[in-house]
Amino acid sequence: MRAKRLSWALIAPTALFALAMTVLPLGYSLLTSFQEFPLGRAPVFVGLQNYRNLLQDNNFQNSLITTLIFTVAATAVEFVLGLGLALLLKDEFPFQGVIRSSLIIPMVIAPVVVGIIWRLLYNADVGLFSFLVQTLTGKSLSVLSNTSLALPALILVDIWEWTPFMFLILLAGIQSLPTEPFEAARVDGASAWNIFVHLTLPMLRPVIAVAVLIRALDAFTVFDQVFVLTQGGPGTATEVATLMIYKTAFRFSQFGYGAAMAVALLLLVACFSTAVTRAFKGAS
């Protein structure tokens, strides 16, 4: 009994800290989402009005779709490239340390700096992409003011920055796999492809689940690059949910509506992560 009390007492500070840092702000956001903040007056309780408005807000629904496309496309490509790089660089080779270190450089650059670098690369006058297109076709290309290219351009930036993260996690996962099953398969004459499909992938599944989930959750909340590169434009082509929430709450001072958007995004992210987790569990 005494030992139990002691264990509760030892856990209590951490639990209280976690409560103060996570549950309280979430609870406050939820409370805010049921309120309206008229100019110069006290907040007014409006019940579910903000959520009803959300259901009719085409712009917010479009921003959720844009966020979903961004997340799925970026995470999928990052996974494929990260896995490919991990398989390629898993064995010992000369200059291994230098090559692996240089691969993770994009990941350690601040997202705002990444945004500025790519803004220059995409620039119609001095950018690399425009130069290449001009060399080939004689016409310059303004990537970020093209409604069809702007979102893929943002996805490319995310892929450039975060593929190293996938690579690192998957490489660690591959290197931690037991060697015996692979040796046995080779002795039995299994092809490299069969080994990859029937051994590497299934054994790596828990690591893949974690890597995909972490990257997807991060991609859902992308903000810095969009803010620096496109501000959600051209038109609303790259308006992701976080940018819209930020503008609604802090630029337009609609705190209640912005909080309702944040809660809706949280629910979407929770559904998405549950679906991904179940998919991986089901497959195993």
Partner 1 sequence: MLRRQFLKNSLGAASAVALSGCGSRESRVQLTFGSYADPGVDILKDEFLPEFEKATGIATEWVEADFSGWFQKALNDGETKAGAFDIYVMDDLWVPRFAGAGYLANLEELGFQPDPDFLPTAIDLGYWPPKTGPRQPGVDPAAKPTLFSLPIVSDVQILFYRRDVFGNTPPVAWEDIARVAREHSNPAQRKFGWVTRGVRGNPIMNSFFVLLHDFGGTEFDEQWRVTFNSPQAIEALEFYLSLLPYEPEGVAEFDSDQEGETLLQGNALAATIWTGWCRQTDDPSRSRVVNKIGFAVPPGHEKRVAKLGLFMAGVAASAPHKKEAAEFLKWFSRSDVQVRFARAGGIPFKTSAFKDEQARSNSRWLDAILDAMTVGVPSPRTSDWSKVEDILGTHLNLALLDKGKAKQHLDAASAEATAFLKSVGYYAS
In the complex, the residues that contact partner 1 under the rule CB under 8 A are: 38-41, 53, 123-125, 140, 142, 144-147, 230-236, 247, 250-254
Nearer Cβ to partner 1, position 6 or 65?
65
Tell me how far apart the alpha carbons of residues 239 and 247 are, in angstroms, rounded to a whole number.
11
The letter for the amino acid at 172 is A
Q: Is the CB of 75 or the CB of 130 nearer to partner 1?
A: 130
Please name which of 252, 249, 177, 241 lies closest in space to residue 32, comparing C-alpha atoms: 249
Residue 173 or 232: the one with the smaller Cβ distance to partner 1 is 232
CA distance linking residue 32 with residue 41, whole number of Å: 15
DSSP states along 87-115: HHTSS--TTHHHHHHHHTHHHHS-HHHHH
Residue among 145 and 221 whose Cβ is closer to partner 1: 145
Q: Give the DSSP H or E segment for 21.
A: none
Nearest CA among 81, 69, 91 for reference residue 161: 81
Report the residue number, 6 or 44, with the smaller CB distance to partner 1. Answer: 44
Residue type, 115: G
Q: Give the residue with the Cβ less far from partner 1, 140 or 273.
A: 140
Shortest distance, CB of residue 274 to partner 1, whole angstroms? 32
Inter-CA distances, 216 with 14, 56, 110, 169, 219, Å: 28, 27, 19, 14, 5
Q: Is 270 helix (H, G, I), strand (E, B) or coil?
A: helix
Least distance between partner 1 and beta carbon 136 (Å): 16
CB-wise, 127 or 173, nearer to partner 1? 127
SS3 content of the chain, % helix, strand, coil (to 5): 75, 0, 25
Residue 258, sorted as left (phi over 0), alpha (psi -120 to 50) or beta, turns out to be alpha
CA distance 250 to 253: 5
Q: Which residues pair with 45 in a beta bridge?
A: 35
Least distance (Å) between residue 39 CB and partner 1:
4
Name the residue nearer to partner 1 (CB basis): 175 or 253: 253
Q: Are 64 and 241 in contact (CB under 8 A)?
A: yes
